[in-house]
């Protein structure tokens, strides 16, 4: 049974909740009550699931990948899907970055710049592999292997939006990097997802590879 770290569904639901909150200063029992009822992210069900996933993520636990697939399909049907997926990715990337050990953070803070960069890259590679299923190939390529299979079928091309945002956020947390990650490959090879991002802009004539 394929599994994923609980921070992934947690980030998805937090992004949904953030997209569906009521306008500031408006009570759910007031004139916006009907609007609130149509916004799934603001429901008690989502709040309860967020708490469940937060507890699991705090214990460094995994969930069944089918749970994540169900959430992704829910998000993919929304008109604001791209915004929600990007927000979820950033949230997941930040959570992954916070999982760096105290020892690693201490070493990065006291080491000379050359060693600090090496340690930072090892930390990013380790966290990316363990938590986000990313394979980092320095200096400029990040690949997503999707061993849990969440990008299959109708979700092909959807999940990579979230993963790309997570990768960029994780890298920025440790490695000097101010630009964008360019999606240079998107597709599957048999049962394996073959998405890749680069810190280098691809030639304009090629675009994203299938």
Domain assignments of the chain as residue spans, ordered by start: 3-198
What is the mean pLDDT of the segment spanning 130-154? 85
Split at pLDDT 50, 70, 90, the class of 93 is very high
pLDDT tens digits, one per residue of 18-69 = 888 755 544 444 444 444 445 677 778 888 999 999 999 999 999 999 999 9
State how far the alpha carbon of 73 is from the alpha carbons of 34, 130, 137, in Å: 25, 24, 30
**Closest alpha carbon to 71 in 140, 125, 24, 17:** 17
CA distance linking residue 80 with residue 131, whole number of Å? 26
CB 185 within 8 A of CB 209: yes
Q: How far is CA 127 from CA 18, 45, 66, 78, in A?
A: 25, 30, 22, 30
- The residues, ordered by sequence, that sit 6+ positions from 10 with a Cβ below 8 Å of its Cβ are 50, 53, 54, 56, 57, 91, 95
Phi, psi of 136 (to 5 degrees): -95, 125
What band does 158 get if pLDDT is binned at 50, 70 and 90? confident
SS3 150: coil
Q: What is the mean pLDDT of residues 101-128?
A: 88
Residue 12 above 60 pLDDT? yes
pLDDT at 203: 66
Please give the pLDDT value at position 140.
74
State which H helix or E strand residue 195 sits in: strand 195-198
- 4 vs 167: CA distance, rounded Å: 16
Joined tokens for residue 76:
């993919």
pLDDT at 87 over 80: yes
In 71-97, which positions are buried (b, 16+ CB within 10 angstroms) versus exposed (e)?
A: bbebbbebeebeebbbbbbbbbbbbbb
Beta strand residue intervals within 31-80, DSSP E: 62-64
Burial of 137 (0-12, 13-18, 19+ CB in 10 A): exposed
Among candidate residues 10, 177, 169, the one with its CA nearest the CA of residue 98: 169
34-38, 122-126, 193-197: least confident range: 34-38
The pLDDT value recorded for residue 1 is: 61
């Amino acid at each position: 049974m394929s599994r994923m770290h609980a921070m992934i569904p947690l980030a998805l639901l937090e992004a949904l909740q953030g997209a569906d909150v009521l306008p500031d200063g408006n009570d759910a029992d007031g004139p916006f009550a009907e609007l609130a009822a149509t916004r799934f992210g603001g429901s008690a069900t989502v709040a309860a699931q967020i708490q469940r996933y937060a507890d699991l993520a705090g214990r460094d636990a995994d969930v069944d990948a089918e749970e994540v697939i169900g959430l992704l399909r829910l998000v993919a049907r929304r008109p604001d899907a791209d915004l929600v997926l990007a927000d979820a990715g950033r949230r997941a990337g930040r959570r992954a970055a916070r999982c760096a050990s105290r020892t690693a953070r201490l070493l990065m803070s006291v080491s000379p710049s050359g060693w600090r960069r090496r340690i930072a890259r090892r930390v990013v590679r380790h966290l990316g592999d363990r938590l986000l299923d990313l394979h980092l190939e320095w200096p400029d390529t990040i690949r997503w292997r999707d061993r849990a299979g969440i990008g299959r079928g109708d979700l092909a091309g959807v999940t990579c939006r979230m993963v790309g945002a997570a990768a960029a956020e994780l890298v920025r947390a440790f490695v000097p990097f101010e630009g964008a990650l360019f999606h240079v490959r998107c597709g599957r090879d048999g049962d394996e997802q073959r998405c890749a991002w680069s810190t280098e802009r691809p030639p304009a004539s090629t675009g994203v590879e299938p």
